[in-house]
Amino acid sequence: MIPEKLAPLDPVIHSQIRLAVMSILVSASVADFNELKAATGTTDGNLSTHLAKLEEVGYIRIKKSFRGRKPATTCSLTDAGREALARYVNALESYLPKSRG
């Protein structure tokens, strides 16, 4: 069965790394850069680029500080990001066949 109309997928979220970051942040109030890097298996530069894009559209908040003399970057999901992820998941569900329960 082909759905009549598929909901559009948010192109900002529809990237494997950005989707992973959003998915991690939806359940964690805050995640630091190194945790996100380990979870996504990406490089510093690649993750930085994806985080900047998410911050640019207002989906995440990035906080830079220092722990002792070491820089620390933490990320959290904004309300707009939480809503965007919910819309993305709902849109993605429109691509799946409906259960005939």
- Dump pLDDT digits (tens) for 2-19: 556 788 999 999 999 999
Decide: residue 77, CB within 10 A, 0-12 exposed, 13-18 middle, 19+ buried.
Answer: buried
Tell me which architecture the domain covering 16-87 has in CATH: Orthogonal Bundle (1.10)
Residue whose structure tokens are 């709902």? 90
**Cα gap 44→5, rounded to integer Å:** 39
Tokens of 82: 């939480």
66, burial (CB in 10 Å: exposed 0-12, middle 13-18, buried 19+): exposed
pTM assigned to the model: 0.88
Please name every residue paired with 67 in a beta bridge, in sequence order, or none if there are none: 70
Q: Which residues of the chain have pLDDT under 70?
A: 1-4, 99-101
Name the residue ranges covered by the structural domains of the chain: 16-87
